[in-house]
Structure 1
Amino acid sequence: MLCIERIYTLYKDRILAFFITKRIQRDKAEDLTQEVFLRYHKAKYDAEENVAKALLFRIAQNIFIDYLRSIKNNLPQNEVVQNTSDTFEDQELVDETVDIPRSLDAQRELASVIAILQLLPPKCRDVFIDFRFRNLSQAEIAKRRNISLSMVEKHVVTALNRLKARKT
């Protein structure tokens, strides 16, 4: 069983890198990283190192989803993070249903997707992120980025084809 200080030392940089690879600005990524360890600590997990790592990355993924939702809903991120922290204080946080092997497989899959997205041309990647993760319509993206609707469609198709090619 690892103490929180040891877990923080071991995984802080990895969790920070997780957020940075998702194109989150460094200062925001540092805040989200702190939130990961805060949630882990508040949950009072007592786990071996490999389980702790999986739990941390599951928490990081959940925080990233909260972050995306806050962008989608145009809410300040600190409000969303604060609200989720408050909620966790009042709940029993040990999730008996966590499937660690499945979680690790999902992590690998996500890392693969991120790697492919990073290889896309920047405009293509940005359009795809707007479309898939920020849930903007193609027309909204075209207007915001000052490009044609046809170009937006081409960028989305290019990204999807690259992702699809990875699976085969």
Structure 2
Amino acid sequence: MSGQFPTDLEFDRMRQNLVGNANAWERKNARTRKIAAIAAIGAVALVGAGVAWVALASPELRENAVYCYSDADQSSKFSTVVRGEAEVPDGSLPVADAIELCEAAWRAGAVGQPAPPPPDGDFPVPPLQACVRLDGVTAVFPSDGSSTDEFCRDLGLRVK
């Protein structure tokens, strides 16, 4: 710089330097935004695929299995009981069959039995209610005697 103020040539160099730096910064920001957008789209796609995978159980599980819970609570322990083969044309598991499967599991001590078996060999079976979990699998719980609609709704489930 000559004297106190820059010359026109020095102003032009400073302007070019400043504009060049601003353009470089803008290109870098655009690239960073593009990478962030691609990463966000990828993350959303992965989460969506994961939700779809978790949301529904396999058709075999939905049609042939029942979860027998030890308490009227989805976080309680449960046993998975599977029937041999479909007995109805549409392949669904009828409520009566689901409850019968869980009654057998309760009697055998596979569900809800902390103590040794009684002298006659069969554990007691409480009244049971069938509902449908969010993944589509039938779930059977010990019942408090309320209506099936109310019972399942209170557990956050659908009626079977």
TM-score normalised by the chain length of structure 1: 0.27
Question: Which structure: greater strand fraction?
Answer: 2
Structure label with greater radius of gyration: 2
